[in-house]
Structure 1
């Protein structure tokens, strides 16, 4: 995962438009969510490796609640007097199914009340469920292998998605500008 994040950052930093407009936040979760890196401009973003626990719960509902709080706190919406931030793109990665199924269902409803540019969910590994992710978004992909090549490919695709798919917060659009995923990423229908 860390190799993939570094590849994404490297690709984004080579894009002058991304350097001016992209902000990144990382929320990690297992038994509880943590705002690992608060929303930070790409030019100022400093990444340190994420420690991924080998076991534990997958409290995806709590992670979505944390996301909602961060978006409500950090994203400025457009109004008649000021231009808002770009609508956030969300990339959710999970290697299981929610341990907090009821909270997950409630958080999905709250996420859908907000204006995201796109939400892409990635089920990682053979134990990751897909059905719960389809409640959150129709953009669900699967990474069956857990090697650095697959993760790097996923994060390069994320970089291309970020570079191609932003719209201003508070302005709705029906366009979906996501590029096709690489071969190691399977679309879940």
Structure 2
């Protein structure tokens, strides 16, 4: 609520603005946003950077994290183009999960569904002290923690996300392997701590 959700909105704007200035990302990156509170919903379908419009975001209710993971798996199946003999498909998506709380539903059921689809690297962000990093560590090896949920820290996180997406886009353009680990990404800023 308050400053943190406003900072997330500003962070999304910063992310999109940065990616629009990167010729590699402009040609290869697409974004989608799934929000989860009392219900999980896709607020922006998979959209190319040039056409992306930032959605209104609100923080209310509970934390339906498992429902969000199921929806994410469904949207990957529906929106990410698969390679066929006739066409070259999309690379596996980079997934950034940001939460400031603890799941209030069966997150393990959602995670089981997500494991059935092909994803690229999953990066989870625990924003503030109420987020449970132990649950996030069960979903991905790459968990970062923001010591505070203030606007400067959240902005630093989104700048790092932007740099990470740009790195992935450059690898796509150069025909290199996909981003598969933290070592393939730019180093996180001081405000973003890697959880070991």
TM-score by length of 2: 0.87
Indicate whether 1:9 and 2:12 are aligned: no
Paired residue secondary structure (2:34): strand
> Does the 8 A contact of 2:14 with 2:159 survive in 1?
yes
Per-residue CA deviation, residues 101-136 of structure 1 (Å, 9 max, x unaligned), is xx3112212222322121000011111101111111
> Residue in 2 aligned with 1:47?
54
Q: Structure 1: which 5+ runs fail to align?
A: none
Question: Which shows bigger deviation, 77-86 or 9-18?
Answer: 77-86
Residues 17/104 of structure 1: CA separation in 2 closer, same or farther (3 Å cut): same
**1:97 maps onto 2:83 in alignment:** no
Q: Does the 8 A contact of 1:117 with 1:165 survive in 2?
A: no
Alignment of structure 1 residues 124-139 onto 2, 5 Å = 124-139=127-142
Q: 2:69 aligns with which of 60, 64, 70?
A: 64
Q: Is the 8 A contact 1:95 1:125 kept in 2?
A: yes
- Alignment of 1:83 onto 2:88: yes
Check conservation: 2:34, 2:42, Cα contact below 8 A.
Answer: yes
Conserved? CA contact 2:100–2:130, under 8 Å? yes
Distance in 1, Cα, partners of 2:188 & 2:107: 26
Given candidates 74, 77, 81, the residue that maps to 2:79 is: 74
CA distance in 2, matches of 1:175, 1:138: 11
Structure with bigger helix share is 2
Point out where structure 2 has 5 or more consecutive residues left out of the alignment.
1-7
The corresponding residue for 2:155 is: 152
Matched, 1:108 2:108: no
Shift in CA distance, 149/174, structure 1 to aligned 2, threshold 3 Å: closer
